[in-house]
Amino acid sequence: MACQGLQKGETLASLKRECDNLKKKLEEERGKLNDVELHQVAEKTEVLGALSVKTRRVLKGHGNKVLCMDWCKDRRRLVSSSQDGKVIVWDAFTLNKEHGITLPCTWVMACAYAPSGCAVACGGLDNKCSVVPLSLDKTENLAAKKKSVAMHTNYVSGCTFTNSDMQLLTCSGDGTCALWDVESGQLLQSFHGHTADVLSLDLAPSETGNTFVSGGCDKKANVWDMRSGQNIQSFESHESDINCVKYYPSGDAFASASDDATCRFYDLRADREVAVYQKDSIIFGASTVDFSLSGRLLFAGYNDYTINAWDVLKGTRVSVLFGHENRISRVRVSPDGTALCSASWDNTLRIWA
């Protein structure tokens, strides 16, 4: 029936009206609590001096654009993936390449280190995310032991292990995020709500419970409950694709980087954007963000080949890191906060400290 599902008096028009009313109410409720700006509250905080951070290592070895990287919990190893299908595990102290995996697909856009340090996950244009156990035997062909875990209907743009090696969370160009059991490859939960490609996700710090945030081409950042699959909160203030989302260390807030050349900071308990990191001189899109250990600094990588360090509280730029010769695809602070690693389309990774 054409009218099937309509309740008495309910029409598409009335549902649309309720939608608009609810959206207005949401804005009003959020606005009521906006009594002061974050940077105003932060006026009494000390101004930060310029950072004495320089390039300490340059990791050369990829033959094409490096698209993603992730640190191991041991604070010295890291995994990186590139456009030519190669995934490399490095010892960042010695620059030694410990493992090399060749995938049959190009554009490996996502890679992650398992919490145990014994495996890595990677995925991209093959629409899959696979887990590869790392062997101590250097002669072993790791690609042969690769296990497909996640299956999407479009490219995989991001992946992360949850608190153990047993579960993998992925996001994809098919507009969904999904939670998988690594052992069986079973889909445990799927997350629907984005209306375009999802480009990034980040898991909440373990103390704050089972949620994660995702951002995508629909300009929205959504916060999800991992158990129920429910979209808990949604933020839409960016003017273009959101390329990266990252939680603040306390888990009460998150930052996002977008093609609109701004990075933004959202507080989850106030349910609104509380800061925008932008400058008239910055006109290229931001592709990646990460916080320093205390959350005071936000490192953001841009398509103009630079990394900007922002004072999260005051909203001002503290430093600019130059060195890469092409776009920055990913920045990540090491687990103990001693260094920043950046991956770039110039085929290299840099360690800054």
Partner 1 sequence: MQNLLCTNPSFSPVLIHNFSLLSFIYSVALPRMSSKAHSSNNIAHARRTVQQLRIEASIERIKVSKASADLMNYCSEHARNDPLLMGIPASDNPFKDKKPCTIL
Stretch that binds partner 1, among 8-16, 112-120, 131-139, 182-190 (CB under 8 A): 8-16
Round to whole Å and give the CA distance between 23 and 223: 17
Q: Which residue has the tokens 């700006």?
A: 37
In the bound state with partner 1, the residue whose beta carbon lies nearer, of 54 and 147, is 54
Stretch that binds partner 1, among 129-137, 213-221, 227-235, 300-308 (CB under 8 A): 227-235
In the bound state with partner 1, the residue whose beta carbon lies nearer, of 48 and 125, is 48
Residues 181-200 that bind partner 1 (CB under 8 A): 193
Residues 235-264 that bind partner 1 (CB under 8 A): 248-250, 252-253
> How many CB atoms are closer than 10 A to CB 122?
29
Q: Which residue stretches of the chain are H helix? A: 12-32, 38-41
- With beta carbons less than 8 A apart as the criterion, state whether 147 and 119 touch: no
Interface characters, 300-329, with partner 1 (x: CB under 8 A):
------------xx----------------
Question: Of the candidates 65, 73, 145, 296, which one interacts with partner 1 according to CB under 8 A?
Answer: 296
| C-beta contacts of 85-91 below 8 A and 24+ residues apart | 86/62, 87/111, 87/120, 87/122, 87/132, 88/61, 88/62, 89/120, 89/134, 90/59, 90/61, 90/349
Round to whole Å and give the CA distance between 308 and 331: 11
In the bound state with partner 1, the residue whose beta carbon lies nearer, of 234 and 306, is 234
Residues 113-142 that bind partner 1 (CB under 8 A): none
Interface characters, 81-120, with partner 1 (x: CB under 8 A):
-----------xx---------------------------
Token code pair at residue 217: 């081409």
